[in-house]
Amino acid sequence: MTEPKNPPYGAPIDRSIPDALAGLFQEVILDHYRRPRNKGALEDPTHTITMNNPLCGDVIELSLTVRGDVIEKARFQGKGCAISLASVSMMARKLEGTKVADARALSVKFTRLLHGERELQGDKELGDLRSLSGVSKFPVRIKCALLGFNCLEELIGESGSSDDRAGGHEPGGAR
């Protein structure tokens, strides 16, 4: 259990804690998993992609409506573990009204958080996504947490990146 005096965010996660996702962090994750934000499909998206994480079985479709340099709408649907779905729920909620460049920056920042950059645990721009910082202790789960962001980068990333990505590609969402 989390000590009551710990703040909900930015609390250091001791590596000795077996379940690094315990306590308040788990509450935030489960809340997004049970009551996902921005779930569904867009009627007329400008961008849609479906990606999967075969290691876990997560499948996520991300749809965006981008006008100019602003993401006006973001919706997702799919199935998967709590971490993948909570992560994409947190991401999609933050994306709406965000400039494309800022969305890219968010993706970079979240990836760094998941690779263990502890100082980012106090970064307000990450919002609820900070609750997933404990995932950095579980390499297999990092692919779950990044699946939604992998979709985002495929849709709006600086093209040309052929990095080895977590998920396989599916044509999906051919609308």
User: Would you give the binding string for Zn ion spanning residues 10-49, x where CB under 5 A is met?
Assistant: ----------------------------------------
Among the residue ranges 10-18, 28-36, 87-95, 143-151, the one whose residues contact Zn ion (CB under 5 A) = 143-151
Written as six digits, the tokens of 164 are: 């080895």
> 113 or 142: whose CB is closer to Zn ion?
142
8 Å CB contact between 80 and 144: yes
Query: How far apart, in whole angstroms, are the C-alpha atoms of residue 125 and residue 136?
Result: 18
Angle (CA) 97-70-49 rounded to 5° is: 95
What string marks each residue from 70 to 109 as x (binds Zn ion by CB under 5 A) or -? -----------x--x-------------------------
Contact window for Zn ion (CB under 5 A) among 6-14, 93-101, 136-144, 157-165: 136-144
154 in contact with Zn ion (CB under 5 A):
no
DSSP label of 78: E
Query: Is 52 a residue that touches Zn ion (CB under 5 A)?
Result: no
Q: Specify the residue, 24 or 81, whose C-beta has the smaller distance to Zn ion.
A: 81
Chain centroid to CA 82: how far? Answer: 11
HSE-CB at 105 with a 13 A cutoff on CA atoms is 9
Element (H, E) at 50: strand 47-53
Interacting residues toward Zn ion by CB under 5 A: 56, 58, 81, 84, 144
